[in-house]
Structure formats: C-alpha cells, structure tokens
C-alpha cells in the first residue's frame, strides 16, 4: 500500500496516521519529497482499510500495490538507488566496469590481472574464491586462500573487491570484500539471502539460470527486507532453447527492471556469451539498453585458466573493448 501525504503535514498529524498504521504490525518506509511524502507500507496490509486511511485529512491518496515485491519496487522509491562500492558509485547515472578473472588462481595471476585492468581505468576487481562448478571434479576455487590473495591485490592496487559467497557460514570471511556476489545458482538460496540482509555491505545479486524477473526481484526483496538496501542486480544470461551461446543475454530485462525497480542493474556479458568474441557486442548492447555497469572476465592467460577460459578476454583485448565501452557510456549521456 502506498499513501501520499502533504510534505506540509504537522508532526502530530503524521503521528496519528503512523500510530494507526503501526497498530496493524506494518512497517512504514517514507520518502520525503518537496511537495509530497510517500509512505510505503511493508508487511501484511490486507487488514488495513483504505477508507479508514482516507479519513486522515493529511492523506492525499492511497492505493494498494499489486506486485508482491515492495521495497525493491519503484513505486515505493521513485528515484534510482545509487550503491557505493568502495568509493565507486553504481546506479543513478553512475556507470562502472568491474573486471577480473573468473577465479583467483595465484598471487601473481590476480596481481597481473588487477594491474592490467586498472591500467584501463577500471576501479573494481572481480575474482572468485568459492566457485560453484557443475562438476564436483572441477576446480572449486582457492576458498579462504583465494580471499587472502584478493586482499593482497586490494592492498597493493587499492581496488575494491567483488567475490562470490556460496554459504552463509562463510560471510565472516568476506570482511575485506566490498561487493558480495550471490551467484546465479544461489539466487533462491533464501537462508543465504536472509543472512545477507543482516549486513550493510553491497550485494550483487545475479539472476538465476531459469528465473523470471519477478522471482529475481523477490530475491532482492529478501535482502532488503532484512535491512540491507545496497543491492545491485546482475543480468548474466538465462537458459533458453538456444545452444549457440552459453546463455541468452536478456537485454530486455534491463529496461524492464528500470521500470519495475529503483535498484541498479549491471550486465555480465561473459557468462551470457560463453565466448570471448561476444563480450564486446553484448557489452555495447547492454550499455545502449541502459545498464549501470558491466562485470567482465579477464585473464592473463585464458588458455590456461582454471575456469571459464573460453569467455575470458586477455588484458590487451580488454583494453581495446574498454575504450569502446567508455566512448559509448559517454555518448549515451549526450542523447
């Protein structure tokens, strides 16, 4: 339910309305504007009588929100949310490229890649330490050691970190990680989402392999309902009948999300494509469609990568593509 009240309402008038609403065990999220204040009611609002709300003279309008997602809903929060990742803003006109290897493999590997992408003006470094692999025999990541190597790379380069958490038990290990990734396979791991709702750190929530946009937003709602408002969505391709690409990048998800939600959305062209030569066109398509950022896999030696070599760009390839990305991001601001 959304209630619009005049911004000139007196404190005692607001208190009367708030007391009435809160007596129904419902939370109020207010957004104060110049002329109006929007009160978003979160919780079970079924028992709240709209006619009773209208009896308060300060109420200008009241309507029920049909969508099951509330806190992530743009109707609750008109302006774009901007998430700060270690000093780099994402959303609301702020665009960032996140780059780095699929997995952290060694000290030298992560450092060479971090320095390489930083030389191309990239602020944020990605690197997986806990890897969700389809095969139990495949490289599972360096786990805690991987996170330590990321911390070293951060200390040396100053780059904030993105890394994937697979279990709620591991969250304390992510103290030095600036943006915690929830991978596609964990998008509906509700216990994990609830735990991530209890911390304040930004969360990068990837879309599940075969999940609808509404399911994805409901997962973001889990994190926000716990109190963590720093959520960034990541479209990484979905499973379709098509086999020519690893996944199918759902470009339309970008404008659809922008309409439904105020949360920033970044695109992962690497996992969408599965092949390095597709990373450039998909990156540019994502920018043209309004994405707030990109997360791209880069490796110092893709042929020898322990995970996702085929979709990883070399450092020189990344440099060329990132120049085009920067140009298109700048151009989009002019139209």
How many CB atoms sit inside 10 A of residue 275's CB?
Answer: 13
Burial zone of 290 (CB within 10 Å; 0-12 exposed, 13-18 middle, 19+ buried): middle
Q: Which of 102, 204, 225, 257 binds Mn ion (CB under 5 A)?
A: 102
Select from 287, 277, 281, 286 the least CA-distant residue to 312: 277
| Choice from 206, 246, 258, 262 touching ligand PEP (CB under 6 A) | 206
Query: How many angstroms separate the CA atoms of 16 and 20, rounded?
Result: 6
Instruction: Give ∠ CA 261-167-222 in degrees, rounded to 5.
Output: 25
What's the CA gap between 207 and 220, in Å, rounded? 10
Distance of closest approach, residue 25 Cβ to Mn ion, in angstroms = 43
Helix (H, G, I), strand (E, B) or coil at 126: strand
Q: How far is the CB of 102 from ligand PEP (least distance, A)?
A: 5
Tell me the two tokens of residue 232.
Answer: 């960034």
Closest Cα to residue 148, out of 124, 125, 176, 170? 176
Q: Which of ligand PEP, Mn ion, none does residue 206 bind to, with CB < 5 to 8 Å depending on kind?
A: ligand PEP
- Tell me: does residue 275 bind ligand PEP (CB under 6 A): no
What is the rounded distance in angstroms from the CA atom of residue 142 to the CA atom of residue 133? 13
Asked if 98 contacts 293 with a C-beta cutoff of 8 angstroms, the reply is yes
Task: Tell me which residues in 111-170 interact with ligand PEP (CB under 6 A).
Answer: 128, 132
Least Å distance between CB 103 and ligand PEP? 7
x-or-dash pattern for Mn ion, window 248-267, by CB under 5 A? Answer: --------------------
Give the range of 2-10, 200-208, 213-221, 306-314 binding Mn ion by CB under 5 A: 306-314
Note the residue count of the chain.
Answer: 335
Rg (CA), the chain: 21
Where does this chain touch ligand PEP (CB under 6 A) — which range of 116-124, 183-191, 213-221, 257-265? 183-191
Which of the residues 162 through 181 are near ligand PEP (CB under 6 A)?
A: none
| Dihedral sign from CA coordinates of 240, 232, 140, 108 | positive
Given the rule CB under 5 A, which of 80-88, 99-107, 143-151, 180-188 is the region that contacts Mn ion?
99-107
Any contact of residue 183 with ligand PEP (CB under 6 A)? yes
Q: Which of 62, 102, 180, 231 forms a contact with ligand PEP (CB under 6 A)?
A: 102
Residue 194 binds which of ligand PEP, Mn ion, none (CB < 5-8 A, kind-dependent): none
- Least distance from ligand PEP to the Cβ atom of residue 84, Å: 21
CB of 242 to ligand PEP, least distance (A): 17
Nearest distance, CB of residue 219 and ligand PEP, angstroms:
13
For residue 208, state whether it binds ligand PEP (rule: CB under 6 A): no
Report how far apart, in Å, the C-alpha atoms of 293 and of each of 8, 76, 248, 290, 312 are.
Answer: 38, 23, 18, 9, 18
Per CB under 5 A, does 308 bind Mn ion? Answer: yes
Return the residue matching tokens 């690893």: 246
| Residue 183 interface partner, choices ligand PEP, Mn ion, none, CB cut-off 5-8 Å depending on type | ligand PEP
The footprint of Mn ion (CB under 5 A) covers 102, 308
The footprint of ligand PEP (CB under 6 A) covers 102, 128, 132, 183-185, 206, 236, 268, 271
């Amino acid at each position: 339910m959304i209630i619009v009240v005049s911004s000139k309402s007196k404190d005692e008038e607001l208190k009367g309305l708030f007391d009435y609403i809160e007596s129904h065990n419902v939370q109020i999220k207010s957004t104060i504007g110049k002329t109006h204040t929007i009160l978003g009611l979160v919780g079970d609002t079924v028992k709240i009588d709209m006619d009773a709300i209208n009896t308060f003279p300060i109420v200008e309008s009241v309507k029920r929100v049909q969508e099951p997602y509330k806190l992530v809903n743009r109707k609750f929060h008109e302006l774009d949310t901007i998430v700060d990742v270690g000093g780099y803003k994402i959303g609301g006109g702020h665009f960032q490229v996140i780059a780095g290897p699929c997995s952290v493999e060694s000290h030298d590997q992560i450092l060479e890649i971090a320095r390489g992408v930083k030389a191309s003006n990239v602020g944020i470094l990605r690197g997986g330490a806990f890897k969700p692999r389809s095969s139990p025999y495949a490289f599972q990541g360096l786990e805690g050691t991987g996170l330590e190597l990321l911390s070293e790379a951060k200390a040396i380069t100053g780059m904030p970190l993105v890394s994937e958490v697979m279990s709620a038990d591991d969250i304390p290990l992510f103290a030095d990680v600036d943006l915690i990734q929830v991978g596609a396979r964990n998008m509906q791991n509700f216990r994990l989402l609830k735990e991530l709702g209890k911390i304040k750190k930004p969360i990068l929530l990837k879309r599940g392999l075969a999940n609808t946009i509404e399911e994805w937003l409901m997962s973001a709602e889990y994190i926000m309902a716990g109190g963590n408002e720093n959520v960034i969505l990541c479209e990484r391709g979905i499973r379709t009948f098509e086999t020519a690409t690893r996944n199918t990048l759902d470009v339309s998800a970008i404008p659809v999300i922008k309409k439904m939600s105020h949360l920033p959305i970044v695109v992962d062209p690497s996992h969408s494509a599965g092949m390095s030569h597709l990373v450039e066109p998909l990156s540019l398509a994502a920018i043209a469609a309004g994405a707030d950022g990109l997360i791209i896999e880069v490796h110092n030696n893709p042929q020898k990568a322990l995970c996702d070599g085929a979709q990883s760009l070399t450092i020189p390839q990344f440099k060329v593509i990132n120049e085009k990305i920067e140009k298109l991001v700048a151009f989009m601001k002019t139209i």
